[in-house]
Structure 1
Amino acid sequence: MSELEELLRDEWGRLLALLVARYRRLDLAEEGLADAFEAAARTWPTQGAPDNGAAWLLTAARRRILDRLRSEEVLVRRMPLLAVDADLTERAQRVMAYAGEPVADERLRLVLLCAHPTLSREVAAALTLRLVLGVTTADVARLFLQSVPTMAARLTRARKKLAGSRFEVPDGDELAERVGVVADVAYLAFTAGYAPGSGPDVVRAELAGEAIRLARVLRSILPPSYDASDLDALLALMLLQHSRRDARVHDGELVLLPDQDRDRWHHDEITEALELLRPLATAPATPYLLQALIAAEHAIAPAAAGTAWDRIVARYDELVAVADSPVVRLNRAVAVAEARGPRAGLAAMEEVALRGHRLPAARAELLARAGDTDAARQSFDAAIALCENEAEAAFLGRRRASLG
């Protein structure tokens, strides 16, 4: 990774937060910083990178913003600006002059602004990837299976919705609510990476990786007094799932958990996740924590045959009590089948009402294990007809063909 790529990855959100605090406009700050990175990409290879790349980029972005402001002076008077406290604006100006002070507060403000309640979860996720992590609009579009013009338009509308909002760190319950939205946004992006609704990809691990990076950024900039236990549980959950990314696919085909090569799992990420979960043993049972504990059971099992399915069923019973949903009940039914046999799993599925292909696909697997081949074929046919992901549909077709 080149120095400029490292700066884009590590400093984009910090520099953008400073520019937003100083000039109070998302569009100007983003365009100015993007122009600065573009200028760096043109000049650094021939002239050499400066000693302080972040300061160079901040200065270049500031000049471009000032040029833009002078050229649209009339428009600026009618443009609603973000509400930024005077002391924050002054501090941002001072940091921009010296480019050496830490700016955790400003970056947290940017993260929380992207989680504004006027935005839908999916739009908030896309805007957060773009503004906080510096993911290009083209890459955001690809990650969310949208065309570039469509995603660009959605991001533009989101920025306009935020015009006039407060660039601040709220207190108490409001802070907890906003952080909860950011956590949900990260998990939404992560889930989109591991459950592509359509297209040819089995998984999109790069989107899941960006979601994990967002969770890490949020943890690093929250005030020390903030109880981040649920965020730790979310990070552990994502790390445990992400650790299996290289084993999920073989020769372009989906590989289910029992058939995965555990030597290809990223055991350093599993270790990190388990360390995050250890202090949460007595924490309240939240949805993220319970899901992380379920994922941990798979990670610590010596082999697929040694998985403690009775403990997993008990965790799912807890999860149903705190966050009941058709997906949770379907996953519980699968765990019941592993612990007590396919007929018990099929009985548990009777209470599940879930649109899409996942329910008939799971039912088909259990029917096949129970020896009801004709019913399994019919359920596989129903799942294939509903499945829009090409790789999953091909996998289901192979499973159906294996019935003979």
Structure 2
Amino acid sequence: MSSNDSTPLRVLVITASTRPGRLGPAITDWFVRTVRSDAASDAITVDVADLAEVALPLLDEPEHPASGSYRHEHTRRWSRTVAAADAFVVVTPEYNFGMPAVLKNAFDFLYHEWAWKPVAFVSYGNTSAGTRSAQMAKQVVTTLRMMPIGATVALRIADSVHAGQVAGSATLDDAARALLIELSRVARALRPLRGGNDPTDVDGPIAGLTLREARPDDMAELLVLQRCCWVQEAIANDTLDLAPLRENLADLRASMATWRWWCVRHDGRLVAAVRARAHQGAWLIGRLMVAPDQAGNGIGSWLLSYVEGQAPGETTHCTLFTGHRSTRNIGLYERAGYTRAATDDTPPDSVRLTKPRSGQPTGAVHHDAGVV
């Protein structure tokens, strides 16, 4: 295999049957073994997601998947798995002329994470070799802005499966490798629509803006953004003794163990970020930052609303802190529904603000650089 783009690709193979006695894992194993050598030579990583192990319940998120606001950890895990992939291979049987319900459910849990990525099908069954399942699935994936490719593999059980294992043949093996070649070519061609290789895909309030959960390799760029943003806070509060200005790259990377970080990019450039964690019934929101040249575009307001929506069900309110002289920031937070809450554990020279999770106001808030 060869390609004009050697940047690594991640292909996720989804085993779509969960019923007892299923053949799906054996067929997935055959496919992965068959393409392993070709994948390695073309900088492709092949991962497997078995829907029986993913164990998603019937869609149970209260918000629409397009909102990207997930209440349950099982959804967040599935979101991270799908977002990290550049392309998909779905190994699916056919049930009553259609795809398994568990596969449709897995598609329905998410929205943006699927977009602008190709998908191929390895189907199996009796008379039709599972092809009607693949055809039904294609109607769904196109609505999710995925691109089903032309290459497919269809296994007729009586001809290709013996003693629970795929009886490989030159024809089948060649079809699997051809599928991977076409899938990788389309995945690389679609990269510009996905903003490079970043698996984002929560759209922002301005064109070209995307959001995703941060990864360790974002931290160096995030450190630069953080120092730029907190200059205004240092001036407003007449002090350089601010944690965001003292931290180094190792500190930021270590913070990922206790905080969830989100990054916002505009055409690939990191322009905003925020972090949050649950603590004693509160959803603590911190380090909300927007690049100075991007302030006033609604990015901070959108990002604050998004991170509020990520609060787990056990939290009752959102809490954040800002400098006691940051009058503009304080006013903006108060107009967003936050109120001051003086407590013994409020850091010196800081203001603590809280907002109940229920009945959150919808008024827009613009957050300039330097907000804690």
Flag the structure with more relative contact order, 1 or 2, with Cα contacts below 8 A and sequence separation at least 6.
2
Q: Scaled by the length of structure 2, what TM-score is found? A: 0.31
> Counting strand residues as a fraction of each chain, which structure ranks higher?
2
Q: Scaled by the length of structure 1, what TM-score is found? A: 0.29
